[in-house]
Homo-oligomer: A and B are copies of this chain.
Amino acid sequence: MSTKDGPQASRRGPYAKSAERRRAILTAAHAVFAAHGYRGGSLQDVANHAGMSQTSLLHYFPSKSDLLLAVLNWRDSITGDGTAPPDPEESLADAVLRQARFNEDVPGVLELYTVLCGEAVTEGHPGRDYFTERFDRLRRSYARQLAQLAGEGRLRPGVDPDTAAASLIALWDGIQTQWLLAPGSVDMAGCLRAYLDLVLLPEEDQERASAGAPPLAPLG
- Chain A interface residues (CB < 8 Å from chain B): 35-37, 39-40, 111, 114-123, 128, 131-132, 135-136, 139, 156-160, 163-164, 166-167, 169-175, 177-178, 180-182, 185-187, 190-191, 194-195, 197-199, 201-202, 204-205, 216-217, 219-220
Contact = CB atoms under 8 A, between A and B. Distances in A.
Given A35-B122, A35-B123, A115-B119, A191 B178 contact: no
B202 A199 contact: no
28 contacts: A40-B119, A40-B122, A115-B119, A115-B122, A118-B118, A118-B119, A118-B177, A119-B119, A120-B181, A128-B181, A131-B181, A135-B178, A163-B194, A166-B175, A167-B171, A167-B195, A170-B170, A170-B171, A170-B173, A170-B175, A170-B178, A171-B171, A173-B177, A174-B174, A195-B195, A197-B219, A202-B220, A204-B220
A31 to B, nearest CB: 11
Interface centre among A36, A118, A119, A199 (most CB of B within 10 A): A118
B167 A175 contact: yes
A216 B163 contact: no
